[in-house]
Amino acid sequence: MPTNSLHQVLKIQFGLINDTDRYLTAESFGFKVNASAPSLKRKQMWVLEPDQGQSPAVLFRSSHLGRYLSAEEDGRVACEAEQPGRDCRFLVLPQSDGRWVLQSEPHGRFFGGTEDQLSCFATAISPAELWTVHLAIHPQAHLLSVSRRRYAHLCPEEDEITADSNTPWGVDALITLIFQNRQYCLKSCDSRYLRSDGHLVWEPEARACYTLEFKAGKLAFKDCDGRYLAPMGPTGTLRAGRNTRPGKDELFDLEESPPQVVLVAANHRYVSVRQGRGVRGFPSAPPGVNISANQDEELDHETFLMQIDQETKKCTFYSSTGGYWTLVTHGGIQATATQVSANTMFEMEWRGRRVALKASNGRYVCMKKNGQLAAVSDFVGEDEEFILKLINRPILVLRGLDGFVCQRRGSNQLDTNRSVYDVFHLSFSDGAYQIRGRGGGFWHTGSHGSVCSDGQRAEDFLFEFRERGRLAIRARSGKYLRGGASGLLRADADAPAGVALWEY
């Protein structure tokens, strides 16, 4: 049975990069570790766990093996321990440039090396013992202040990011982490960077770059002066405070950012929980329980959080009034459910630029003559089709099974297996999306299914939300985009599954 999971704290996974730009890797054969991999894949992902005692030591667990990194007294290292023992405890010593030094707590030696010559026997810190943290999670998320229990969001009126929202509703709550030069920037939904004095700037200057630190499973962002971002004042304006050590005020959670969507019915009006028709400049009646296609503009009451159940692949729609869409008597659709159940799940059928929704009674949701939605149709016609628009990804990062999508240097082609990512810009028109990349060029399909990023004119791509956190992208040829064996993005997949699904 589907579960309620509106707010999911992201499990922090990361890679560790040494001084020669190679990732710490846990091998299945012999449980050996090396630093030979040039990119961040499954074997290079680690999870930081606190030690169970009162010690400041931490544990490094391989996401791939589920085993713990250990260092013996003679310096030998491995990733073999199924349960953490004394030799698995390390101290993390952050350096001024943001890199980490890992010190064996029981033996006092430092961990480092190159290629397959790793050891934990150094008595002094050299470049070989310095590690850069590279987050392995999808970088677009919601940012929650631990002390205030409020979400950060762009406040256009004050031109700042504030942590004063009870819920991460709307596009303003999207934060994108940008990894560059071994540090992180916080990018707002309008593509500006948060500077440590609280101002938003268009370029990732030095004062907009932060060192990432972990404390008890939470994140802290340290600026170039050694001070930490924190919410300040009544509105919780994010800027660097006075503290040079992270306390509760300086800690944040990253939460999953599910798709938020608006739907437009055949009458060209937005689906809403408002009871009367809203015309610009004239307020409609307060929100209620019925779902109707009766609004002329998209605001909070026309925005729905859409989540896809991993098992059934069916979706739920959660309204700003705090209720799930649910099937009621005589096929009606209301926003009254407080728990996920069979009646709150809808099957999506992708029909080109439109989508149809089938309710748990086996019938399609349609727009009645009065605008209200009801699941009473056995077939799909014009009244059963809706335009579904993703509103909380004006900027987009895509990750496939082999890595992130990034424009190949010196080329108009797109790689799909990179550890670093490009941020793409989305625009929307009549059920389709146009994708703009680095330099302002549009994505377009070329010969033999190739996808390029230097188009002068926009080409339409269709987004199909197929799994939780993953979508399929369909080109005008009808083929789906996938990462080919060469690592290049191509539009040549027949089915929206596997390598043709993209984390967004």
Same structural domain, 270 and 362 = yes
Q: Is residue 158 domain-resident?
A: yes
Q: Do the beta carbons of residue 384 and residue 366 sit within 8 Å? A: yes
> What distance in Å separates the CA atoms of residue 502 and residue 466, rounded to the nearest whole number?
10
Would you say residue 132 has pLDDT above 60?
yes
Integer Cα distance of 114 and 444 in angstroms: 41
Cβ pair 400, 319 in contact under 8 A: no
- pLDDT value, residue 318: 95
**Highest averaged pLDDT of the listed ranges 80-94, 169-183, 275-289, 352-366:** 352-366
- Claim to verify: residue 18 and residue 121 sit in the same structural domain: yes
- Least confident piece of the model among 264-278, 363-377, 379-393: 264-278
Structural domain contains residue 487: yes
Q: Residue 277's pLDDT band (boundaries 50, 70, 90)?
A: low
Q: In sequence order, which residues have a C-beta less than 8 Å from that of residue 366 and are 6 or more positions away?
A: 373, 374, 375, 376, 377, 381, 383, 384
Last residue of a domain, one of 337, 361, 390: 390
* Least-confidence region, from 16-25, 285-294, 346-355: 285-294
Q: Taking CA 270 as the corner, what is the angle to CA 435 and CA 352, rounded to the nearest 5 degrees?
A: 45
Cα–Cα distance, 12 to 214 (Å, whole number): 10
Would you give the DSSP letter of residue 242?
S
Torsion 122-124-130-131 (CA) sign: positive
Residues 443, 417 share a domain: yes
Q: Are residues 406 and 479 in the same domain?
A: yes
Q: Find the domain containing 352 and state its range.
A: 261-278+285-390
Q: Residues 439-469: pLDDT tens digits? A: 899 999 987 889 999 999 999 999 999 999 9
Two tokens, residue 64? 């791939």
Q: What is the pLDDT of residue 420?
A: 84
Same domain? For 106 and 169 the reply is no
199-224 burial, b at 16+ Cβ within 10 Å, e below that, comes to ebeeebeebbbbbbbbbeebbbbbbb
Q: How many domains does the chain have?
A: 4
How does residue 2 score in pLDDT terms, banded at 50, 70 and 90? Answer: very low
The verdict on 252 and 294 lying in the same domain is no
Question: Is residue 1 domain-resident?
Answer: no
Please, what's the b/e burial string for 147-158 (b: 16 or more CB within 10 A of its CB; e: otherwise)? eeebbbbbbeee
**Predicted confidence (pLDDT) per residue in 353-373, tens digit:** 999 999 999 999 999 999 999
Whether residue 265 is found in the same domain as residue 321: yes
> In this structure, are 420 and 355 located in the same domain?
no
User: Radius of gyration of the chain from Cα atoms?
Assistant: 24
Is the pLDDT assigned to residue 285 strictly greater than 60? no
Q: Are residues 252 and 307 in the same domain?
A: no
Q: Is 247 exposed, middle or buried (0-12, 13-18, 19+ CB in 10 A)?
A: middle
Q: Is residue 3 part of a domain?
A: no
Q: Is residue 58 included in any domain, yes or no?
A: yes
Residues 6+ apart with CB under 8 A from 195: 201, 205, 207, 208
Domain closes at, from 117, 135, 153: 135
Q: Clarify whether residues 266 and 357 are in a common domain.
A: yes
Contact of 260 with 392, CB cutoff 8 Å: yes
Residue type present at position 390: L
Q: Could you tell me if 104 and 115 are in contact, meaning their C-beta atoms sit under 8 angstroms apart? A: no
Tell me how far apart the alpha carbons of residues 499 and 504 are, in angstroms, rounded to a whole number.
14
62 within 8 A of 16, measured Cβ to Cβ: no
Query: How many residues are there in the chain?
Result: 504
In a domain, 6, yes or no: no
Please determine, for residue 3, whether its predicted confidence score (pLDDT) is greater than 70: no
CA dihedral 201, 207, 212, 218 (to 10 degrees): -70
Our CA dihedral for 266, 269, 271, 275, rounded to 10 degrees, sits at: -130
List residues bridging with 351 in a β-sheet. 354
Which domain-ending residue is among 361, 390, 419? 390
Residue 95 CB partners (closer than 8 Å, separation 6+): 101, 130
User: Same domain for 352 and 270?
Assistant: yes
pLDDT of the residue at 1: 34
CB-CB neighbours of 44 under 10 Å: 27
Question: How many other C-beta atoms can be found within 10 angstroms of the C-beta atom of residue 377?
Answer: 18
Q: Is residue 110 part of a domain?
A: yes
**Rounded CA separation 456/412 (Å):** 12
Asked, for residue 323, whether it belongs to a domain, the answer is yes
Asked if residue 119 and residue 93 are part of one domain, the reply reads yes
* pLDDT computed for residue 281 by the predictor: 43
Report helix, strand or coil for 78. strand
Per-residue pLDDT, 280: 44
Domain containing residue 39: CATH number: 2.80.10.50
- Per DSSP bridges, beta strands 502-503 and 470-474 are antiparallel
Grouping H, G, I as helix, E, B as strand and the rest as coil, residue 86 is: helix
